[in-house]
Structure 1
Amino acid sequence: MCLTNLNSPQLSFTIVSKGELPFHCPPKESSKWNMHPKVFLSFSKDGAASCPYCGANYQLDQ
């Protein structure tokens, strides 16, 4: 699920459920033509993670 704020693109993020852990970027449903190398992400104490390759933001569903 992607939540986007059109006025502030850096605030858009994808919700990740605990059932998807361990989680990696790009996600499984990404198009193959534009993928960067798969990187597994660690979530902070507040449940946030950011991809070092593409800058995508993820939030762990609490």
Structure 2
Amino acid sequence: MTNATVELLAKDLNHQGGVYCPSPLADMTLWNSHPKVYLDVARSGQAKCPYCGTVYKLKEGEHFHGH
């Protein structure tokens, strides 16, 4: 487990308000990590990967305005 925290800008989220882990935003590559998992960051402003424990959160002051 990495237990890292990755601060995101709203533009880092996909159109649904989420990110995938492992992520290049967290200096991870798919070949040396866990299965790809979708994390819904927009709902609460942060999400924790169930595999590695990395927390992805919106930077303070950032707001996601999805469609």
Bin for the TM-score computed over the shorter chain = 0.5 to 0.7
Structure 2 segments unaligned to the other structure (5+ residues): 63-67
Segments of 5+ residues of structure 1 without an aligned counterpart are: 1-8
Supply the AA of the counterpart residue of 1:53: Y
Which is bigger in relative contact order (C-alpha 8 A, separation at least 6)?
2
Q: Scaled by the length of structure 2, what TM-score is found?
A: 0.59
What is the number of residues matched between the two proteins?
Answer: 52
CA RMSD of aligned residues (A): 2.2
Q: 1:14 is matched by which residue type in structure 2?
A: V
Structure 2 residue 12 is the aligned partner of structure 1 residue 20: yes
Q: How many percent of aligned residue pairs carry the same amino acid? A: 37
| Aligned residue type for 1:35 | S
Superposed structure 1 runs of 4+ greater than 4 Å apart: none
